[in-house]
Chains A and B, each alone.
Chain A
Amino acid sequence: GAVVSQHPSRVICKSGTSVKIECRSLDFQATTMFWYRQFPKQSLMLMATSNEGSKATYEQGVEKDKFLINHASLTLSTLTVTSAHPEDSSFYICSARVGREQRDTQYFGPGTRLTVL
């Protein structure tokens, strides 16, 4: 199947700093990428949908100024957590849709564990 990578896999930062997480589709071009947040023992919550070359669409309640998403190429999307605080500590997962059809399958990255001290 299609492979999606994320970097870094773990990051620890101080409160007030910014952290960038990269999501790459390794063997396909992803016109659409998705960013999720997952708290321990909970389900995945969609944060935003990112289309290559256009602004991301954020879900209700997600601060777009805090979670900056850039989808500069067909293989790379980045999530930047700006001025991170301890409550931003979570597991962040990206996924990428193979192909341009709505029916195409999403493949997930391995996730990034963010800890804000």
Chain B
Amino acid sequence: AQTVTQSQPEMSVQEAETVTLSCTYDTSESDYYLFWYKQPPSRQMILVIRQEAYKQQNATENRFSVNFQKAAKSFSLKISDSQLGDAAMYFCAYRSGGSSGSRLTFGEGTQLTVNP
């Protein structure tokens, strides 16, 4: 079974600074997808960024980018120019690309605080 580990229960960053959230995963599969979801105080899960394992290029969405290291099974999220609205719980998630590929496996989450 796949597992996802987020080793940082809490992180903080100053407004306008950059922060990196860590995520590692364990799998024997070669075809899979990785995601970062954000859950603000409203509890609504919001997709931040997505990475296909077969793509070598790191995904980028505006101020959000990932560092995908497939051999190391690492998938960190970098938030640049942090804003107050970035404060939330961030979840890393894995999904198989195979026939059982619907389900998401989530990490434990990292609570991000943005200080003004």
Question: Does A54 touch B at the CB level, under 8 Å?
Answer: no
A8 interface residue, CB < 8 Å from B?
Answer: no
Contact call A34/B103, Cβ cutoff below 8 A: yes
Which of A19-27, A65-73, A78-86, A99-107 makes up part of the contact surface? A99-107
In this complex, what residue of B is CB-closest to A101?
Answer: B101
Q: B33 contacts A110, CB within 8 Å? A: no
| Interface size class of chain B, counting residues whose CB lies under 8 Å from the partner chain | 20 to 34
Contact A102 B97 (CB under 8 A): yes
Q: Is the C-beta of A75 less than 8 angstroms from some C-beta in chain B? A: no
Please tell me if the beta carbons of A102 and B44 are within 8 angstroms of each other in the complex: no
Q: What's the Cα separation between A95 and B42 when bound, in Å?
A: 16
Say whether A32 faces chain B, with CB atoms less than 8 Å apart: yes
Residue of B nearest to A110 (CB): B44
A110 engages B43 (CB within 8 Å): yes
A43-B108, A46-B103, A49-B103 given as contacts; is B98 within 8 A of A111 (CB)?
no
Contact of B101 with A103 in the complex, beta carbons under 8 Å = yes
Q: With A43-B107, A43-B109, A44-B91 in contact, is A111–B101 under 8 Å at CB?
A: no
Chain A, 7-59, CB within 8 A of any chain B CB: 32, 34, 38, 42-44, 46, 49
Q: Does A93 contact B (CB under 8 A)?
A: yes
Q: How far is the CB of A4 from chain B (nearest CB, A)?
A: 10
- Whether A43 touches B91, Cβ cut-off 8 Å, given contacts A97-B102, A111-B44, is yes
Within 8 Å of chain B (Cβ to Cβ): is A1? yes
Name A's B-contacting residues (CB within 8 A).
Answer: 1, 32, 34, 38, 42-44, 46, 49, 91, 93, 95, 97, 102-103, 105-108, 110-111
| Apart from A1-B47, A43-B108, A49-B102, 4 more pairs, CB < 8 Å | A42-B109, A43-B107, A102-B102, A108-B46
- Taking Cβ atoms with an 8 Å cutoff, the residues of B that contact A are 33, 37, 42-47, 50, 52, 91, 96-99, 101-104, 106-109
